[in-house]
Chains A and B, each alone.
Chain A
Amino acid sequence: MAAPMAAGLGVRLRAWLPRLTQVRWSRYNPSYIEPEVNKELYRKPPEELTEEEKEKLELKAVQPIKAAPPTLSSSVFSDPMISKFTNMMMKGGNKVLARSLMAQTLEAIKRKQLEKYHKAPEDEKETIECNPYVIFHQALKNCQPIIGVSNITKGGKTYQGSKDHLPSLQHKPAWAQLPDGPEVLTKPIPRQYQG
């Protein structure tokens, strides 16, 4: 009852409290916040807004906002994950080439899926996913590691033991809960390497 309001009020008047020394600096004043480009959030009528959202809006009205970068746009075709992937593909600053490669890849995915779609019988047509963005996101999720290594010091020596990469232990992906999930989860970890 008092707690959520307290939290909201506490967040409102937070001054910029310097906790770390400045090594990376930016041309913007630290009080500037990131822009929100998603059109849907702005199309909501005022009645549908919750208390928190109204407070956030009021707070945002007072704060200065950074300029949207050239890679960000409100169109349906701009996706943050695809932009990040394109940037990682880029070599020597050649964004034109990276973007064209990305576009060709997505086109190739779409073509293959459409081929499958047209060849499939009527009842299976709904299961085939034709949207290349969805396929890309799913592919990235499938590639994410679930277990990594971390340093464990025991008896003076530093071993490398397993550590969960999952964002939270409660929200495991659906396929990991199946009995025939990846082997790694079912393999017993030797006692000496347990944390």
Chain B
Amino acid sequence: MAATVGRVLRLGGPWSAAAPGGPRAQVLRLIYTTKAVQRKNVGASGPEKYTEEFIKKQIEEFNLGKRHLANMMGEDPETFTQEDIDRAIAYLFPSGLFDKRARPMMKHPTEIFPEQRKIQWGEDGRPFHFLFYTGKQAYYSLMHDTYEKLLNVQKYEDELTAQEIPSQKEKKNLAGSRWLTKIELEEMLLEKLSDNDYSRFIQLLQKLMTLPCGNIEEKYIQKFTREVPVQLQKVVIEPLKYDERGVAFSTGEGARKTARATAVVYDNGSGKVTVNGRDVLHYFPVLQDREQLLFPFQFLDRVGKHDMVCTVSGGGRSAQAGAIRLASAKALRSFVTEKEVEFMRQAGLLTYDPRVKERKKPGQEGARRKFTWKKR
């Protein structure tokens, strides 16, 4: 039990695993390390910081600890998921620390200890892989494999043309997938890549895919693609509400820089717009701001058909106009078909504008402007 408690008390993060591997493990786990121990481990660089037996032991301890934790919480050990573990830890060890990574956590050892490359040479010092001396053996072997697939596809194509069978061009819906990012590829290969290497690999994959008979190697290519959520319309559109007079209305909230706005758009209107209790001509004397307010309505051809009542605070003249534009566009989503919502999104009406004033840096006069350069 003490071992389990000690395990649970271990804070997340690789530094706390400074207690070196299996043979020196003690009953009492280290909760903190001294500088000497930390320095020693940083010096011991190389592919193996944690032995395989160490990781296996950690996994066994984790599973055991999971069962103990389930018993403590009074739940069934068989169906104790990771979310239950997180909730239990947050309950037993409440922490007010800001950074989530600094709080006590209990996760599967594969998530805590980063994956490492195994030792790549045998006892006689001879490397296992034939590309070891290139320095990037995983990357070059991957390129070799991919090129082999490319040659296979070309050979297959040649066979088909020799037999005069028309090649089938099956079109896949590729809009919903993307290639692996450089970081994901590095994690997969456990090797550092340069930008150039990464772009060469992606170009090779694209070439493989664009060949007419590339469908043969689909499984291989799928290893390097990730799904992209097909519709970016993850946002739920609220249904219309009706007020006492029976008129349909809808609310929307918008923000731009420091301005915050809420807009209520009523149906069966005459195009009257009220901002903070005042008429729009009073509040926005500048034509550009009024043009921005009208933009969503003009885009949907509903200029004189809706009334709008808005409240806005903060920001400047243009920021307030932008905030109301976003709020009214969000409110109009409820009045309009899904296709038109997608058109509005593609026109840039439904995106929150993240641009804010850039901070001033020390040693410069402004965000970008430097002080006058003087020769002497």
> Real complex partners, A and B?
yes
Interchain CA distance A63-B202 in the complex, whole Å: 19
Q: How far is the CB of B235 from chain A (nearest CB, A)?
A: 12
- Give the chain A neighbours of B286 by CB distance below 8 A: 96
Q: Which of A18, A59, A65, A72 has the most CB of B within 10 A?
A: A65
**At the interface, yes or no: A67 with Cβ under 8 Å from chain B?**
yes
Given A5-B169, A18-B195, A27-B354: A74 and B299 interface contact (C-beta under 8 Å): yes
Contact B175 A61 (CB under 8 A): yes
Within 8 A of A (CB), among B334-376: 342-343, 345-349, 351-356
A63 contacts B232, C-beta separation under 8 Å: yes
Q: Are B348 and A37 in contact (CB under 8 A)?
A: yes
Q: What total of A-B pairs shows CB separation below 8 Å?
A: 118
B187 within 8 Å of A (CB atoms): no
**Complex interface: chain B residues within 8 A of A39 (CB):** 299
Q: Which of A6, A17, A18, A66 contacts B348 (CB 8 A)?
A: A66
Interface-facing stretch out of A7-15, A106-114, A161-169, A173-181: A7-15
Complex Cα spacing A26 to B358, Å: 10
**Separation of A61 and B198 alpha carbons in the complex (Å):** 26
Are A10 and B347 touching (Cβ within 8 A)? no
* Chain A residues numbered 52-80 whose CB sits less than 8 Å from any CB in chain B: 55, 58-68, 70-75, 77-78
User: Does residue A195 face the partner (Cβ distance < 8 Å to B)?
Assistant: no
- What A residues does B326 contact at CB under 8 A? 67
B206 at the A interface (CB under 8 A): yes
B280 within 8 A of A: no
A85 at interface by CB-CB < 8 Å: no
Interface flags, B152-183, vs A, CB<8A=1, else 0: 00000000000000000101011111110100
What residues of B have a CB within 8 angstroms of the CB of A64 in the complex?
232, 351
Contact A61 B232 (CB under 8 A): yes
- Given A9-B210, A13-B209, A67-B353, also A62-B176 (CB < 8 A): yes
| A35 touching B346, Cβ below 8 Å | yes
**Interface digits, A15-53 against B, CB 8 Å rule (1 contact, 0 not)?**
101110000001110000011110100100000000000
Contact B206 A75 (CB under 8 A): no
The SS class assigned to the A binding surface is loop
- With contacts A9-B174, A68-B348, A103-B287 known, what are 12 further pairs, Cβ within 8 A? A5-B169, A6-B211, A12-B174, A15-B202, A27-B354, A62-B232, A66-B348, A66-B351, A67-B349, A67-B351, A70-B318, A77-B291
B window 214-255: CB within 8 A of A: 225, 228-232
- Residue among A26, A63, A65, A75 making CB contact with B295, cutoff 8 Å: A75
How far is A70 from B286 in the complex, measured between Cα atoms in Å?
12
Q: In the complex, what's the smallest C-beta–C-beta distance from B122 to chain A, in angstroms?
A: 37
Contact B175 A12 (CB under 8 A): yes
Cβ contact within 8 Å between A62 and B299: no
> Interface size of B by Cβ–Cβ distance < 8 Å?
51
A100 and chain B: residue at smallest CB distance: B287
Q: Could you give 16 example pairs across A and B, Cβ below 8 Å?
A: A2-B212, A12-B174, A13-B174, A13-B225, A17-B195, A18-B195, A35-B349, A39-B299, A42-B347, A61-B232, A70-B318, A73-B291, A74-B298, A74-B299, A95-B288, A96-B286
Interface residue B65 (Cβ < 8 Å from any Cβ of A)? no
For chain A, the bracket of interface size reads 35 or more
User: Is B332's CB within 8 Å of the partner chain A?
Assistant: no
CA distance A74 to B179 in the complex (A): 35
Taking a contact as CB atoms closer than 8 A, the residue among A58, A59, A75 that contacts B291 in the complex is A75
Query: In whole angstroms, how far apart are the Cα atoms of A75 and B174 in the complex?
Result: 35
The answer to whether A15 touches B232 (Cβ under 8 A) is no
Residues of chain A in range 74-112 having any CB-CB distance to chain B below 8 Å:
74-75, 77-78, 95-96, 99, 103
Given A18-B195, A61-B231, A67-B352, A73 contacting B175 (CB threshold 8 A): no
Q: How many angstroms between the C-alpha atoms of A19 and B342 in the bound complex?
A: 32
Q: 0/1 per residue, A97-136, Cβ < 8 Å to B?
A: 0010001000000000000000000000000000000000
